[in-house]
Amino acid sequence: MINWAEYTIVKTENMLRRLDTLEFPLSYHVGILGTSGFTAFGGFFKICKPKKEEKVFVSAAAGSVGNLVGQYAKLFGCFVVGCAGTKQKVELLKEKLGFDDAFNYKEERDLKSTLQRYFPHGIDIYFDNVGGEMLEAVVANMNAFGRIAACGVISDYTNSGKHTALSMVDVIYKRILIQGFLLTDFSINDYDDFMSKTMDYIRAGKLCVLEDISCGIESSPSAFVGLFRGDNVGKKIVQIANE
């Protein structure tokens, strides 16, 4: 259901089926086992094509997709640094999610040198949720044959008209790949792979599930606006009613 409503009239009966939640809470199926999880999994494994020990940077790393990218990358054997917009989120990334390091981008004045500090040997993979200045700074710090999965542009959504000033000289000489993607691009095989691996990880306690649940249809507007202000930690979910 994609309406923001307590009740919806659905005219064709076969459009609806009851979700088999398997052994997991219903909410997992809109987050870690839903679009957020599949976006993180497909974007990281299919677009970024990681190799073990590569250096991975994730922006909006406490967000619904970013936190999972970082966790998948750690489980795969990469070195992972994330950025977020509050001290609490940065602590969470380092202490609960197992990121190798993390920083609060709002406290940094020069993102290029910040990234150089966290990646003295350069960035191999960037999972981009924000675009803008952060993407510019990543390109300047990227290694040869680096890959950028372009997943979101929160900086453009909230700051229309301001585009990312990309150094194409860097893109060419470092042979950087930038690939925009949507989760609908991945195949059913990718989906099966994602579901089976992710369920195994959750069962084994290897993936931490971050949910940020508010209650009641009346909390929807503030929940939505909060996404653009960076209020949420993990998947933002509005629970309309109990099951």
Binding positions for a second copy, rule: CB under 8 A: 128, 131-132, 135-136, 150-153, 156-157, 163-182, 185
The residue (of 85 and 131) whose beta carbon lies closer to a second copy is: 131
Tokens describing residue 101: 């390091």
For 199, list phi and psi in degrees, rounded to 5. -65, -40
Q: How far is the CB of 143 from a second copy (least distance, A)?
A: 13
**Three-state DSSP class for residue 47:** helix
Q: Distance between CA atoms of 10 and 74, rounded to whole angstroms?
A: 42
Q: How far is the CB of 121 from a second copy (least distance, A)?
A: 20
Checking 137-140 for CB contacts under 8 A at 24+ apart, the result is 137/111, 137/112, 138/57, 139/166, 139/167, 139/170, 139/171, 139/174, 139/176, 140/112, 140/115, 140/167, 140/170
Q: How far is the CB of 137 from a second copy (least distance, A)?
A: 12
The residue (of 79 and 127) whose beta carbon lies closer to a second copy is: 127
Q: How far is the CB of 243 from a second copy (least distance, A)?
A: 34
Tell the residue number behind the tokens 């084994």, with chain if given.
204
The residue (of 51 and 206) whose beta carbon lies closer to a second copy is: 51
Q: How far is the CB of 222 from a second copy (least distance, A)?
A: 25
The residue (of 26 and 182) whose beta carbon lies closer to a second copy is: 182
The residue (of 57 and 99) whose beta carbon lies closer to a second copy is: 57
Q: Distance between CA atoms of 7 and 191, rounded to whole angstroms?
A: 30
Distance separating the N- and C-terminal Cα atoms of the chain: 15
The residue (of 28 and 105) whose beta carbon lies closer to a second copy is: 105
Of 231, 237, 238, the C-alpha closest to 62 is: 231
Tell the residue number behind the tokens 């219903």, with chain if given.
26
Within a 13 Å sphere around the CA of 234, how many CA atoms are in the beta-carbon half? 20
Q: How far is the CB of 2 from a second copy (least distance, A)?
A: 18
